[in-house]
Structure 1
Amino acid sequence: MPSPPPSSGRIELVSVDLVAPDRRALLEGIDLCVRASERLAIVGPNGAGKTSLLRLLFGRFAPSRGRVAIDGRDLASIPLAERGRLVAVVGQSDQPDGRLTLHDYVGLGRIPHLGRCEGARHARVVAEACERVGLAGLGGRRLATLSGGERQRAAIARAVAQEPAVLVLDEPTNHLDPRARADMLALARGLGVTVVAVLHDLALVTPFADRVAVLEAGRLVALGTPEEALSPATVRAVFAMDCFPFTNPSNGRPLLVFDTPDA
């Protein structure tokens, strides 16, 4: 059997609906294209369908209608092992066994590649993944001894070791302090792969995302750059918040500030 072509990480959702077993509509009419190596943030109020959309991207859910594709290939047609080489997932509720060493935990990312390359390369990829996320030299430490920020970095390292074309992040900054949150997203942004992340903190979106998808009640209501998608009108309508666009005086980058409107 010929090897599949190299993946660039381009994602397409075409006319996607997702219906729950109780017949509730979780997502309706989603049309979305994520470009290769793009960083996309998915935002919306609680219950908007953010996690449901994310789970479609790695095949945890199958669409009730429509199509999800990576590089033009229907996700449902891609074998599980190959899918594991294409898409890595870091979830908000990942709770690995604290007795695992960092090296062994990051090595779990190599499972989709077992039998496809020599053991020496597996070990090298694991070591390089740890180094890339700032955990070099900690391979023998048990996860239980790592800080919350280090454990989040370990989860990213495991995903990096998977060598995916697409990285899916479900609220990756939970339980982190503000600096650790910024560092985590800067790390994900710099990996050079397609990254799709659900974010609850709107203040984190601008420095991370190339584009933003805004969901409300299962529908895509805005899509564009952070400044376009998180316009004052959209933020007020979807989040009942005020949004004030500024320019960062130190670097000239756009900056969005959010506040609760007066009653």
Structure 2
Amino acid sequence: MRISVEDLEVALSGRTVVSGVHIVAEEGEIAGLIGPNGSGKSTVLRTVYRHLRPQAGRVLVGGTDVRTLTAVESARRVAALPQERGTDFELSVHEVVAMGRTPYKRAFSGEDRTDTDTVAAALSRVGMSGAGRRRFSALSGGERQRVLLARALAQDPQVLVLDEPTNHLDVRHQVELLTLLRDQRRTTLLALHDLNAAASVCDRLHVLHRGAVVASGAPREVLTPELLAEVFGVRAAVVEHPLTGDPLIAFDHRGAVEAAAV
């Protein structure tokens, strides 16, 4: 299902934080939002999963404005893993993941075999099989992250919206998560701070800077030394990854920011 963000403008506390934003994720495509802190990445994602209402513009999911959908219709189309996550659930891991089945349940209806199988499959996909009886509140940060991703997968959405999904994950689980996203080929819109991860997993990148999109395209087209200097204020070389052939950014950690073309 295609996502299209058209001429989006959002204000928070009376201040415009994103303006004129156009973003696309084609069906089955992974589109990444990258940019410095405060550039508007999370704000854009929040409009996609209806946490924020824009002042102007619209978000289309499968050609339908998300603001015209009911809560249930929206939840069946879009599942989100936001940055602001409740982490004090006094529930079991199974119960947290089963919350993803809510859009498919009638009020007060119990869990059926489809729900149970879906929850088990989602936990397996994030490497948390066998953890269903553990207390969510007792998990590590990385384990909680994977359980919340399992909840989004259990929702069986057509679109995933993920805000910094690799936060708190160790290297192995970062790689496994990115592999999962690539393999499922579900339309996905995600924000990432790790530019090398973005280059590896994303089919398309949108670069935000000061609330506007300043570049869009394939990672190889977008991630240039000039853009990295202008937007991120860093000196870097972009080379070919020796194992995957993806763009690989080598940052100059000794170079002063002032030396970059900002």
Task: Report the Cα offset of residue 108 of structure 1.
Answer: 0.4
Matched, 1:55 2:39: no
Q: What letter is aligned with 2:94?
A: H
Give the 3 Å change call, closer, same or farther, for CA 40–259 of structure 1 in structure 2.
farther
Cα deviation for residue 165 of structure 1 reads: 0.8
Match of 2:74 among 66, 77, 83: 83
- Aligned residue in 1 for 2:10: 18
Match of 2:93 in 1: 102
TM-score, structure 2 as length reference: 0.90
SS of match in other structure, 1:190:
helix
The answer as to whether partners of 2:3 and 2:61 remain within 8 angstroms in 1 is yes
Partner of 1:125: 118
Superposed CA offset, 1:56-80 (max 9, x none): 1111112211221111111110111
Please list the CA deviations of residues 28-86 of structure 1 after superposition, one character each: whole Å capped at 9, or x if unmatched: 11122210111111111121111111111111112211221111111110111110111
In the alignment, what sits opposite 1:5? none
Residue 112 (structure 1) aligned with residue 103 (structure 2): yes
Number of residue pairs the alignment of both structures matches: 254
Which position in structure 1 is the counterpart of 2:180?
Answer: 187
Q: Deviations over 1:98-128 (max 9, x none)?
A: 5311111100000111039982211111111
Check 1:251–1:174 CA distance in 2 against 1; reply closer, same or farther (3 A cut): closer
Q: Percent identity?
A: 39
2:32 maps to 41
CA distance in 2, matches of 1:92, 1:187: 20
Number of the residue aligned with 2:246: 253
> Amino acid of the residue matched to residue 227 of structure 2?
T
Match of 1:70 in 2: 61
Counterparts in 2 of 1:249 and 1:240: CA distance versus 1, 3 Å: same
CA distance in 2, matches of 1:89, 1:149: 17
Q: Aligned match of 1:175 in 165, 168, 173?
A: 168
Once residues 154 and 163 of structure 2 are traced to their aligned partners in structure 1, the CA distance between those partners, rounded to angstroms, is 18
**Are the aligned partners of 1:43 and 1:200 in contact in 2 as well (CA < 8 Å)?**
yes
Aligned to 1:142: 135
Runs of 5+ consecutive residues of structure 2 not aligned to the other structure? none
Change (3 A) 1:146 1:125: same
- Structure 1: runs of 5+ lacking an equivalent: 1-7
What secondary structure does 2:160 align onto? strand
C-alpha RMSD of matched pairs (Å): 2.0
